[in-house]
Structure 1
Amino acid sequence: MRVAFVLGTTSGGTGRHVRMLVEGLVRRGHQVAVIGPRSVEEQFSYGRAGARFAAVAVSDRPDPANDLRTALAIRRLTRDADVVHAHGLRAGALAALGRRGGVLAALGRRGGVLAALGRRGGVLAALGRRGGPRLVVTLHNALTAGGFVGLVYGVLERIVARRADHVLVVSPDLGVGMARLGARDVRAAVVPAPGLRPAARTSRQVRDELGAGDRPVLLTIARLAQQKGLETLLDVAAGPWPSEQPLFVVAGDGPLRGELQSRIQAESLPVMLLGNRDDVPDLLGAAVALVMPSRWEGQPLTLREALMSGTPAIASDVGGIPEILGNAGILVPSGDVEGLRRAVQTLIAPGAAETLAAAAARRGREMPGEDDAVESVLDVYGGQDPKDD
């Protein structure tokens, strides 16, 4: 089978997930191509995993001229594929617009855009026509912003729902939304976490580096961006605390770093911003719990990694988190500062973390593996391993 992956700019879980699928499909004898920005190849080395890589600029923000060029390029590069599997809403919409018989064809006929809009059914009718390779779109994120950006992404959701043959979603709420917009086939995506390497340092060594003393350490691993709800974490850290303040440690970087650091300094909050780290297993080993105050999450790899390490979590009751966490932590409504503070106080009480740590380790052992993920997409693609022919 010939499979072409399409993805946009990513520095995290989506890129690693595609790399895992590439490796699994190549091992099974399939021909694989990856189409996306040059930066993703530099970071994830799809070529070294056995895929043919083609650089195409899939931008983060709408740009009509660039988007048209990108959609045409995707169409040209995937014309011989059996399956096009796009990851993310932007990549999915551009792959959908490039399908034969769709919007690009409608706009290219006599009269262009205005004529397409004026013909019976117009562009919306073109959205319903499908041609060429089977199109699968995995949605890894939900939009948490409003305004013009929210309006544009609402249009992209409709394009994906109407044009994709199959939509895979990382959380139930995304599935409900796609079904409501008319998607024909919506399924749960299987997104495993890669195996977690052992910690290289002891808990005491990490705590000494952090200057934690005897205080409980609460770890957050997140991009410093609006979706992650980090202002709620700072509100929680501000107290009041009936006993000794815990130390909140945040691993990750992003556009809100300056704003968050300014508030931490101005209010003398017990929060450390560590930046990007490559010692996540060490940090998890030193933490009482993982804290995820996110506005939305799909199937966060950091939560899976925490569970595999036996670290319980306090997390927002959003997206795919409840299904992953089970009884291995405490769920709190997103943005509920008092509820999150009470959950932290509960977990740092003597004996509480140990009980939940055992549940976390059990959940970690139940997580799906990489073979489960590859077999699940092959089932969606409708093909079998060449070795089994």
Structure 2
Amino acid sequence: MTPVSIHSPHGRPPLRTVQVLGGGTAATSAHVRSLAEGLVARGVRVTVCAPTETEHTHDFTGVGAEHVHAPRSSDPGSVSALRAACADADLVHAHGLHASFRTALALGGRHTPLVVTWHDRAHAEGARAHVLRLMERRVVRAATVVLGTTSALVDRARRTGARDARLAAVALPGPRTAPRTEDPDGARLKLLAELGATGRPLLLAAGALERHRGHHTLLDATHGWRRLEPQPLVAVAGEGSLRGELQRRITDEDLPVRLVGERDDVADLLRAADLALLPSRREGRPVLAQQALHARVPLVAADTGGIPELVGDAAELVPYRNARALADAVVRLLGDPARRDELRARGARQAAGWPTEDEAVAQVLSVYDELTRPRPLP
């Protein structure tokens, strides 16, 4: 990434931005880190307001940003901390609905431009769903610009009352560590042995073990390929509230599935896999889908949310919650090497058209420049 200064003309001080992150998903946090790194490299002063544990994981200060602890809650203390952090900001950029809602409260009455990025749609049932709609309305009316990571999110922001809603350029951040130098074939065989998948197809799913991720549909689908020889194994990377429930099903039904917990080597697991599976709903730009296409691993995904827009014709798309369709797609692909090769080639072409980290930073800087006025000399 080539550093480019964004000093204002006539010696004015550099832009000062505050990025607000309420914890968020790992993908959202990684995006904010990438954005902070790119902005700092271009001479922008960046403060990241996020929970301390998120700073420990993503190291915003390591790329030159300042970190301010901001709890996830919307209590008065949290809002006051945000208000103080944003006091002398030229522009504030909040990521996700909950962080954006707290930021809107903190900026109430100020004329500081507020940019909001919606990375995914918040979801709830019953009374909680009504609360989320009210929060969405409050946020889009406070925001100067809403950036949505999918066309559906942009449309939703406009329907909710956004004055200015645009499609965000969001990139898949590159790895923070150097690539491994060991023999890739040896590493793959080692991982397959660890998982118990030596000599059998490995199918990889990744994501929090929560209801909307579609893991029960995935377990249902495994009945459709249990009679294959050799029998495929599904590895599920992630943790969450459904672990006990899912593990009981795996044990009681003797399913060819392993819950492998939180992993920091998902990219390696993916390279060892024959197929990637994404049965989830409400996805914006799911990291697993992006990683799979970049790694040339055939993907089977639910035809929902932002997934079709993201992958185009480079994946097998099946109806959400349709276990039979998911199973049929997996069996069909495992038996059709030519189709797998076709998806690998299409995936590489599709991924080549996605925004880069540089392009994502450039878009954000363009929005910032548009919204900020010249600042007087101190």
TM-score over 0.5 for the alignment?
yes
Q: In the alignment, what sits opposite 2:219? A: 234
Aligned counterparts of 1:273 and 1:80: Cα–Cα separation in 2: 47
Cα pair 2:224 2:328 within 8 Å, conserved: no
Aligned counterparts of 2:92 and 2:361: Cα–Cα separation in 1: 15
One-letter code of the match for 1:328? A
Aligned counterparts of 1:172 and 1:318: Cα–Cα separation in 2: 13
Cα pair 1:215 1:246 within 8 Å, conserved: yes
Pick from 54, 71, 79 the counterpart of residue 79 of structure 2. 71
Map Cα deviations across residues 314-371 of structure 1 (whole Å, 9 max, x no partner). Answer: 1111222112212221111211111111111121113122221122222233322110
SS at match of 1:48: helix
Quote the sequence identity (%). 43
Q: In the alignment, what sits opposite 1:290? A: 276
Cα pair 2:234 2:256 within 8 Å, conserved: yes
Alignment of 1:237-256 (within 5 A): 237-239=222-224, 241=226, 243-244=228-229, 245-256=231-242
Pick from 169, 181, 205 the counterpart of residue 220 of structure 1. 205
Alpha-carbon offset, residue 261 of structure 1: 0.8
Pick from 15, 18, 21 the counterpart of residue 32 of structure 2. 18
Aligned residues: 350
Alpha-carbon offset, residue 11 of structure 1: 5.3
- Once the two structures are overlaid, the 10-residue window that deviates more, 262-271 or 5-14, is 5-14
Aligned counterparts of 2:365 and 2:267: Cα–Cα separation in 1: 31
SS at match of 1:382: helix
Pick from 80, 90, 108 the counterpart of residue 82 of structure 1. 90
Q: In the alignment, what sits opposite 2:318? A: 332
Map Cα deviations across residues 30-62 of structure 1 (whole Å, 9 max, x no partner). Answer: 111111211111111112211111112123xxx
Q: In the alignment, what sits opposite 2:10? A: none
Q: In the alignment, what sits opposite 2:17? A: 3
- Once the two structures are overlaid, the 10-residue window that deviates more, 204-213 or 301-310, is 204-213
SS at match of 2:61: coil
Q: In the alignment, what sits opposite 1:266? A: 252
Cα pair 1:79 1:133 within 8 Å, conserved: no
Alpha-carbon offset, residue 177 of structure 1: 1.5
Map Cα deviations across residues 268-321 of structure 1 (whole Å, 9 max, x no partner). Answer: 111011111122232112212110000110011221111111112111112221
Map Cα deviations across residues 209-245 of structure 1 (whole Å, 9 max, x no partner). Answer: 2222432211111111122111110110122656333
Q: In the alignment, what sits opposite 1:143? A: 122
Distance 1:144 1:340, change over 3 A: farther
Cα pair 2:225 2:331 within 8 Å, conserved: no
One-letter code of the match for 2:247? Q
Aligned counterparts of 1:240 and 1:374: Cα–Cα separation in 2: 44
Q: In the alignment, what sits opposite 1:105? A: none
Cα pair 1:219 1:248 within 8 Å, conserved: yes
Aligned counterparts of 1:159 and 1:191: Cα–Cα separation in 2: 24
Q: In the alignment, what sits opposite 1:106? A: none
Cα pair 1:79 1:132 within 8 Å, conserved: no
- In structure 1, runs of 5+ residues without a counterpart are 102-130
Q: In the alignment, what sits opposite 2:352? A: 365
Q: In the alignment, what sits opposite 2:162? A: 183
Aligned counterparts of 2:154 and 2:304: Cα–Cα separation in 1: 14
Pick from 281, 284, 302 the counterpart of residue 288 of structure 2. 302
Cα pair 1:11 1:40 within 8 Å, conserved: no
Map Cα deviations across residues 174-228 of structure 1 (whole Å, 9 max, x no partner). Answer: 2221111110111112221123565654233322222224322111111111221
Aligned counterparts of 1:190 and 1:83: Cα–Cα separation in 2: 19
1:98 aligns with 2:106: yes
- In structure 2, runs of 5+ residues without a counterpart are 1-14
Aligned counterparts of 1:312 and 1:270: Cα–Cα separation in 2: 20
Q: In the alignment, what sits opposite 2:334? A: 348
Q: In the alignment, what sits opposite 1:107? A: none
Pick from 115, 127, 133 the counterpart of residue 112 of structure 2. 133
